[in-house]
Structure 1
Amino acid sequence: MIEDGPRRHPRKPRRGDLPIATIAELAGVSPPTVSKVLNGRGGVGEQTRRRVEALLRDHGYRRRQAAGVTPCVEVVFHQMLPSIAMEILRGVQQVAGARDCTVGFTDVHRRVLVGQSWVEPMLRRQPTAVITVLSQVTAEHSAQFAASGVPLVAVDPIGDLFPTPAVGANNWSGALAGTRHLLDLGHRRIGVLTGPVKDLSARARLDGFRAALDYAGIPFDDGLERRGVLTFDSGRELAAELLSRPAPPTAVVCGNDLQALGVYAAAREADLRIPDDLSVVGFDDIDQAAWLAPPLTTVRQPFGEIGATAARLALSMADGHAPAQERYELNTALVVRGSTAPPRAG
């Protein structure tokens, strides 16, 4: 008589392994309805969609890559400077190419401008993973990708998207280094331009600026702070306000390089010379920073490595691995050029 071997217990589905039919049964809908939700298609009631999305998220559904389909990592931009976008894409391509993944990119400016959703068209393309480089990404977008089983990684989002992981630079330490550089040169009346308060990176840079003053024992003067948006026009307007004060700053720390370009314009209009009359520090180190006259001292963000880190994280999530942490911050570097010098005596 042949004895039976050890009984094999059926393997329980791993998290993310539940088939669409099971999700449909749990939601009380048909499999085609679940498929519509997964692919961002219409024809599903709002309550039904939310019920299906909640089940997909709760069970950690992961979309299976169709046989014969080349995996693709999609990168989503919104009016990004070409020099920054290309560095991020190079970093993504470096990682994705080693995995035989293609890299696609799209600028959603037109859709955002007319109030159209950019998520559904992206989901219909069934990407392996998505990396967003735009401030308009929200927790609702994050939930849509999670429900569709598409890993999402956000580069420097303006708000908290937990549990979506974020990748960015250490904005606080970068602003701290830039401000300390001015303090070491002897500046004490330092102005600061920043972005919207709700922007996490802008807030971190402002906090880094204030921390540098605090460490040096320099009181923070609220009158030398201006908040706007991170554009040339905003930098020009805000700098003009600061420079028209009875006691204008001898140096200005900017929220980014575009604001710094605006400060250059405001200084020319005020007949001030950089750095003789005014020192300027930017943030980002875009290509134009080195071409200015004088070249701009700025804080360099490692955009290529940010893209590579986001790609590694996105592809790891596509393989079923949970992120080890909520946010990944990469080191910045102060690049000292010709726009900073000691203040004039007296």
Structure 2
Amino acid sequence: MEKKNKITMNDIAREAGVSQATVSLILNNAQSIKLSDETRSRVINTAQRLGYKKIPSPHKVEGQEEIAIIINSMPSYDPFVDALSQARDEAWRNDVLLTIYDYGDDVDLALRIIRQLEQRRCAGIVLASPITRGIDFSLFDHCTTLPLVLLNVYDHAYPLQSTFLPDDYANALQVTRHLIHQGARRIAHIMGDDWMDASHHRLAGYKAALEHAGIPFDDALVIKTNWRLDETHQATYQVMHRASRPDAIFCSSDWMTLGCYQALAEMEVKVPQDILVAGYDDQRIAEQLMPKLTSVQLPYTELGRMAVEYLCQGECTTTHVRMAGKLQIRGSTIR
């Protein structure tokens, strides 16, 4: 059976005779822009006829229940944005508003936000961070009677608190195994900040893949950086000037691979002919590099949706989700 193509907003716009921006406004129930009832009906009817799956139900803003995400900083572009996008969509599907508050890591401000939320029809709170990290949840414990879940943050001292996390260990294991399957035996690993638990989880996954393949761990092939491109550039030179060169490099983020690619080009080392390179988190640049970069997706899309779904369904049991992403194999690791 022939697989049907996914219906997009551009398809709906073409059929309805309106712009894609108009379709986006209508399907996201935007009320700030004046659009005629006839245009709204035509777009929604077209979307239904074409089988578009994300048609929202009519929403009443006044007195509507909400779910709040309280985040310690807002990234300009980061894979975590996908979690916010899916959380918003899941809230709409459940006829709930999603509000986002940036508390800038100021706990007092976060607590004031929570106290204000208690005065409104708030169904629950998602305490989140764009960086996977541990927090001191005791600062938030007993601060509210509203349901509260943790997204991309955790505190192991509170096992009864529901958490939704990416599995950095499993993701790094996937990347390193792939490099081994491609014939690599001396795999360098350029880490991020040493203080981040996520960096150590990725290192542990890297080590486990080597151990499973019977490849001895060489501490000289692991270099710690602070995510800066110039440090990645320097780290690449460092490992490539060892007596026995690596045949693959695993960078802890796609952003870091820019420095790695630059250093290899300066040394006239070709990717993937002379060395394999893999990244982490599957940012947009992975598809734009030459060659395209093999990377592993962080499952923020699903985790953001699940956190909101958990609150909307009023779950009473504690949930701990640690989810692996999907390895995206591209030209940088295929000879």
Give 1:69 deviation, angstroms.
5.3
333, 337, 340: which one aligns with 2:333: 340
Gap change, CA 1:198 and 1:153, over 3 Å in 2: farther
Residue 293 of structure 1 is matched in structure 2 by 290
Matched, 1:256 2:273: no
Matched, 1:213 2:210: yes
Gap change, CA 1:255 and 1:151, over 3 Å in 2: farther
Using the size of structure 2 for normalisation, the TM-score is 0.70
Give 1:161 deviation, angstroms.
5.8
Residue 88 of structure 2 is matched in structure 1 by 93
Distance across 2 between alignment mates of 1:135 and 1:255: 13
Residue 28 of structure 2 is matched in structure 1 by none
Matched, 1:202 2:199: yes
Secondary structure of the 1:272 match is coil
Give 1:322 deviation, angstroms.
3.5
Residue 245 of structure 1 is matched in structure 2 by 242
146, 149, 157: which one aligns with 1:153: 149
Gap change, CA 1:140 and 1:180, over 3 Å in 2: closer
Map of 1:158-177 to 2, 5 A cutoff? Answer: 160=156, 162-163=158-159, 164-177=161-174
**What are the Cα deviations for residues 298-343 of structure 1, in whole angstroms up to 9, with x where unaligned?**
1112221111112123445xx47242x3x3022321111011135x
Gap change, CA 1:190 and 1:269, over 3 Å in 2: same
Map of 1:102-121 to 2, 5 A cutoff? Answer: 102-108=97-103, 111-112=104-105, 117-121=108-112
Residue 123 of structure 1 is matched in structure 2 by 114
Residue 324 of structure 2 is matched in structure 1 by 331
**Aligned residue identity for 2:290:** A
Structure 1 stretches lacking a partner, 5+ long: 1-66
Distance across 2 between alignment mates of 1:237 and 1:116: 37
Give 1:153 deviation, angstroms.
2.7
Residue 68 of structure 2 is matched in structure 1 by 73
Gap change, CA 1:139 and 1:333, over 3 Å in 2: closer
Secondary structure of the 1:156 match is strand
Given that 2:64 and 2:96 are in contact with CA atoms closer than 8 Å, whether structure 1 keeps it comes out as no
Residue 128 of structure 2 is matched in structure 1 by 132
**What are the Cα deviations for residues 207-245 of structure 1, in whole angstroms up to 9, with x where unaligned?**
111111111111000000012234434433322322232
Given that 1:179 and 1:212 are in contact with CA atoms closer than 8 Å, whether structure 2 keeps it comes out as yes
**Aligned residue identity for 2:322:** E
Gap change, CA 1:330 and 1:122, over 3 Å in 2: same
Distance across 2 between alignment mates of 1:117 and 1:147: 11
Secondary structure of the 2:322 match is strand
Which of 328-337 and 116-125 deviates more?
116-125
206, 221, 226: which one aligns with 1:229: 226
Distance across 2 between alignment mates of 1:272 and 1:154: 43
**Aligned residue identity for 2:65:** T
Distance across 1 between alignment mates of 2:258 and 2:155: 26
* Cα root mean square deviation, aligned: 2.8
**Aligned residue identity for 1:308:** R
Give 1:186 deviation, angstroms.
1.3
Identity %: 26
Given that 2:168 and 2:198 are in contact with CA atoms closer than 8 Å, whether structure 1 keeps it comes out as yes
Give 1:99 deviation, angstroms.
2.2
Give 1:107 deviation, angstroms.
4.0
Residue 267 of structure 2 is matched in structure 1 by 270
Distance across 1 between alignment mates of 2:219 and 2:202: 16
Gap change, CA 1:151 and 1:201, over 3 Å in 2: farther
Give 1:297 deviation, angstroms.
0.4
**What are the Cα deviations for residues 71-91 of structure 1, in whole angstroms up to 9, with x where unaligned?**
232251525352524311221
Matched, 1:192 2:189: yes
Distance across 2 between alignment mates of 1:100 and 1:211: 44
